[in-house]
Amino acid sequence: MTNIIDELKWRGAINQVTDEEGLNKLINEKSVGLYCGTDPTGDSLHIGHLIPFMMLKRFQMAGHRAHIIIGGGTGSIGDPSGRNSERVLQTMETVHHNEEALTKQMKKLFGADNITIVNNYDWLSKIDLLAFLRDYGKLFNLNTMLNKEVVASRLEAGISYTEFTYQILQSVDFHHLWQEHDVQLQIGGADQWGNITAGIDLIHKMEGSDAQAYGLTIPLMLKADGTKFGKTAGGAVWLDPKKTTPYEFYQFWLNQDDRDVVRYLKYFTFLSHEDIEDLAEKVKTQPEKREAQRKLAEEVTEFVHSKEAVEQAKRISAALFSGDVKTLTADDIEQGFKNMPAVECASEPANIIEWLVGTGIEKSKRQAREDVNNGAIRINGDRITDVDFEIDPSAKFDGRYVIARRGKKKYFLAHVK
C-alpha cells in the first residue's frame, strides 16, 4: 500500500499533523478509516472546498476507507470558521435541499468503492439538551475553547453561543465515526485545526488516552500574487455545471499563472511524479506552449465533470480561437458564449442590414452597410458581403441562436425569441 503521507508531503499538501509518527505506523499496518466534512451552506461545492476532498480521494485511491460527513446538523447552526460575523441561519428545507445536492456531487467524485457518506443530523438531532451538557459539555474546558484560533479571532467582534458550540458538535462527529465506523483520522483545511484537535481530545477523554485518533490539515491555498485561490472576477468557480459551465471551468484552469501551475498539478491531479516533473521542466523551458496548463485543465475537468466535457471545452476553445463556429452545437454555444454580449432577435427571416440594426449590433444602417461591404460581418461563421443577404434564425443551432461577429473578435450572441 502506498505511503500516503510521503505522497502528500511531496505534493506540498500537509500543513499540520497530530502525532505523525503514530499515524504513519497505523497507516503502514492497516487500512485506515478517515473523514472530511462539509456543511450544506449551499447546493454546490466550489474549487476552494475541493482541496481537502482531493486529499481524501488520494487516501481512497491508496486503499483506505474514506468517509464524508454532509453536515445537516452542524450546517443548521453555522461554522464560525473564516468569518467575522454570524452566519444567517437557513431554513431546514434549504438545508435538506443542499444536503441532497452535495451528496450527489460527492457520489460523482468518489464513486462507490471505499467510500461512506453520512449526515451528522442523524445522530446530532437525537442528543437532547441535558444529555449534551452532561455527556459532552463537562468534557470541554472553557479556557481551551476560547483559545482556539477560530473562536479567539471572533471574540472582539462577538460570537454567539450557537457558533461557539460548533467545535463541540464537530468533536461529537469525530467520536461518533470513531465508535461506529472505525474512523481514526480527520482531515480538513488549515482553519479546522482547532476543531480537529478538540475532537481528538474528546475521544481520548471518553475512550482512553491510548485511543488512536489523529488529525491532518491542508495548507491555506494562495496564488503567487498573494490573492485567494479559487476566486475570479465573476465570483467562485463552482463544481455544479449549471453555476460554472464545464467550458468556464476548463478555461479557469487553462489560464493559471506559470508560477502556480506546477503546485496545482500536484494538488488537483493524480498524475505521477515523473509526469509532473516533466511538465514543470516545460514550464521553465517552453512556457509559451502552456502544456502544463492544458494538462491541468484536462485532468481537473475530467475528474469533476467527464472526458466528454473536456472534449467539448477544447472544441469550443478551438472554435473561438479560429472563428470557425460552424461546427459547434447549440449546447456548445450555450456554454462558450455565456458571457458574450447578448441580444435578441425574432425567429422570422430578415435582411442582414435590418437585422444588425434591429438587434443593436450596429448603430445605423449606414454603418451596417459599410461593415457588410468591407467583409467585417460574419453570421454563424460565414462572412457576409451582400447587403441583400437574408438571415434565417432557424437555420443553425436548433433555431435557438444566431452568432454574429463584427471585426476580428467582437462576438454577439442573438437569442432567438
Binding residues for L-tyrosine: 35, 166, 170
| 235, containing H or E segment | strand 235-236
Q: Which residues sit opposite 351 in a β-bridge?
A: 390
Annotated binding site for ATP: 231
Pair 86, 163: CB distance under 8 Å: yes
Q: How far apart are CA 345 and CA 397, in angstroms?
A: 14
Q: How far apart are CA 377 and CA 362, in angstroms?
A: 10
Q: How far apart are CA 174 and CA 194, in angstroms?
A: 13
Q: Which residues sit opposite 119 in a β-bridge?
A: 70
Q: Which three cell numbers stand for residue 58?
A: 488520494
Q: How far apart are CA 186 and CA 35, in angstroms?
A: 5
Q: Which residues sit opposite 401 in a β-bridge?
A: 415
Q: How far apart are CA 412 and CA 405, in angstroms?
A: 6
Annotated binding site: 35, 166, 170, 231
Best CA proximity match to 35, nearest among 160, 180, 249, 162: 180
Q: Is 76 exposed, middle or buried (0-12, 13-18, 19+ CB in 10 A)?
A: buried
- The count of residues in the chain is 417
Contacts of 231 (CB under 8 A, 6+ apart): 48, 237
